[in-house]
Structure 1
Amino acid sequence: MNYPRISIVTPSFNQGEHLEQTILSVISQNYPNLEYVIIDGGSTDNSVEIIKKYESYLSYWVSEKDEGQYYAIKKGFSHTKGEIMGWINSSDLLYPWTLNTLAMLFNEFDIIEWVTGLPTHISAGTGPQNVSQHKFINKYDIIGFNHKWIQQESTFWRRTVWNKVNGLDLNFKSAADFKLWIDFFKYTDLYFMNTILGCFRFHNTRRGAEKVYEQEVNNLITELRKNNIRDRIKSDFIKYLTLNSSLLKRKLSHKKTFSWYRHPEIFYDFTSNRWRIK
């Protein structure tokens, strides 16, 4: 098997309680061509001690005051060269099969430039306490305000599309990830993989951030609708046809009723023992 280089970045600030679990969720996979970078924002807890414990597994790390999470992520990726990219925040987790699964997928399908797995969530421990079904989304769903969330912890992409959009837009302090997804959609479809890849952890330090994030997302979508009249018309047409029915929306997508309205899925075919695109 060919093992493409995978670049994972973890931004961190005073997350010593969970940081070690996050690190172990990445390095314990023993993926043979991994670039793992940690950018710490000058933590005053035991984070640096934890990072030093695992520094032999890291391609690069630093602990210094910075301008926030997204600045740290973009800075981290500037120290990488991998053809597959993703970030995992310092309290979240990857699953033991994630990196090998991504390698198989991106090796097999040149058409795929970014992919997301089933959303999962955790509060305590190391295993998922909730697994959600996909909320299938493309740019027309976003423009129609039909869906506002793509789980970042479960989403990975090729460096080629990252370079096309010049990475994260640091003008957005809370929803720069959502702006990145919008930029990706300008070039390629998001593929939905029927497995779990990453896990978001709920904890107290994240409470209250949702409203700020949602406001930035709403502003982004409003601007997108204003500047993309043709896409807005298509989006409103789909919304009218489906009346917000997710089942009808999927039928339109799967039957390819409109060539421009797609939600491509990736599923595992147990007969042939390989991933396939539906």
Structure 2
Amino acid sequence: KYAEQLTYWQSKPDNGPYEAIADGFRKSDAEILGWINSDDMLTPWTLQIVGQLFADCPEVEWVTSGFQLYIGENGLPISHSLLPGVNKNGFYNAENLPGSGIGPATAFIQQESTFWRRALWEKAVCREQPLADLAGDFDLWARFFEHAHLYRIDIPLGLFRSHGDQRSVTDRDKYIKQALDILGRYGTPKPRPVDVLIARYLQWCKIDIPPLRPFYETQHIVQFNRKNNCYQTKEITIPGK
């Protein structure tokens, strides 16, 4: 139906969605990559913001939204979650794997709200090591963290549609098991002190409580500078500093 509006498309047998996604990226020549599943949506401003962000901030290799939106089957918002911050250490210790049973967790890194440079993809993914068949997005984030900091922008970028038939619901236990196996490549995940997550939210709220300073971890964020009319990056450890 939309073939004339597409640069390329194909329909053939494959080994799952992540093989098809990888094939699609290999066929493209875009410098900034990302994907959405058929049920999910981008906001009207997503592509413009992402394009300007990567143009303004060459140091950013991948970015995700800290304000995650969820929509119902009718396309209307039903809830949201906050991703107050994420880093390599926390990710590898299951901080972004709710339901793992390992310890306190914040939220998943929302796939439809995450974008990256082609150069990072090419460093992290190769034909000899395909992504996991179900937790492929989680596998990809784990590989990205080997090469680059994840930056957060507190603007909604993607909308995840919730319904009972999606694989993230019907195969949730399998997804979590695959994700834990992926984390096992980087060592045994260990419970994170709850104080770390409390400190993370305080950083997000720009509240500094000195006794919690030992638990603050550097956060990499992207903000819009109204004076200069551009996006800029910032590293924050102690809120307000």
Considering the TM-score relative to the shorter chain, is it more than 0.5? yes
Where do 1:96-175 residues align within 5 Å?
A: 96-117=44-65, 118-148=67-97, 149-166=108-125, 169-170=129-130, 172-175=132-135
Distance 1:143 1:186 in 2: 10
Change in Cα spacing, 1:167 to 1:126, as seen in structure 2 (3 Å) is farther
Structure 2: runs of 5+ lacking an equivalent: 98-107, 235-241
Aligned residue pairs, count? 213
Structure 1: runs of 5+ lacking an equivalent: 1-51, 227-231
Distance 2:5 2:21 in 1: 18
**CA contact 2:84–2:200 (8 Å) conserved in 1:** no
Which amino acid is 2:82 matched to? Q
Q: Deviations over 1:108-156 (max 9, x none)?
A: 0000000001211111233433232224211100222222221100000
Question: SS where residue 111 of structure 1 aligns?
Answer: coil
State whether structure 2 residue 41 is matched by structure 1 residue 59: no
Q: Deviations over 1:257-276 (max 9, x none)?
A: 79x94221122344544323
Change in Cα spacing, 1:171 to 1:190, as seen in structure 2 (3 Å) is closer
Q: Deviations over 1:25-62 (max 9, x none)?
A: xxxxxxxxxxxxxxxxxxxxxxxxxxx2x222111112
Deviation at 1:174, TM superposition (A): 0.8
Paired residue for 1:200, among 155, 160, 171? 160
Counterpart of 2:178? 216
Question: SS where residue 120 of structure 2 aligns?
Answer: helix
Question: SS where residue 82 of structure 1 aligns?
Answer: coil
Question: SS where residue 152 of structure 2 aligns?
Answer: strand
Distance 1:70 1:126 in 2: 25
**CA contact 2:70–2:79 (8 Å) conserved in 1:** yes
Counterpart of 1:70? 18
Deviation at 1:105, TM superposition (A): 0.2
Question: SS where residue 192 of structure 1 aligns?
Answer: strand
Change in Cα spacing, 1:127 to 1:275, as seen in structure 2 (3 Å) is farther
Question: SS where residue 9 of structure 2 aligns?
Answer: strand
State whether structure 2 residue 222 is matched by structure 1 residue 266: yes
Distance 1:251 1:130 in 2: 22
**CA contact 2:41–2:159 (8 Å) conserved in 1:** yes
TM-score under structure 2 length normalisation: 0.78
Question: SS where residue 173 of structure 2 aligns?
Answer: helix
TM-score under structure 1 length normalisation: 0.68
CA RMSD of aligned residues (A): 2.7
Counterpart of 1:48? none
Change in Cα spacing, 1:220 to 1:193, as seen in structure 2 (3 Å) is same
**CA contact 1:121–1:201 (8 Å) conserved in 2:** yes
Deviation at 1:65, TM superposition (A): 2.5
Higher relative contact order (CA 8 A, sep 6+): 2
Distance 1:87 1:182 in 2: 17
Distance 1:171 1:121 in 2: 25
Where do 1:222-233 residues align within 5 Å?
A: 222-226=184-188
Paired residue for 1:187, among 143, 147, 152? 147
Paired residue for 2:197, among 225, 230, 246? 246
Which amino acid is 2:199 matched to? L
Which amino acid is 2:175 matched to? Y
Deviation at 1:98, TM superposition (A): 0.9
Structure with greater proportional helix content: 1
Which amino acid is 1:180 matched to? L
Structure 1 segments of 4+ aligned residues over 4 angstroms from their partners: 250-255
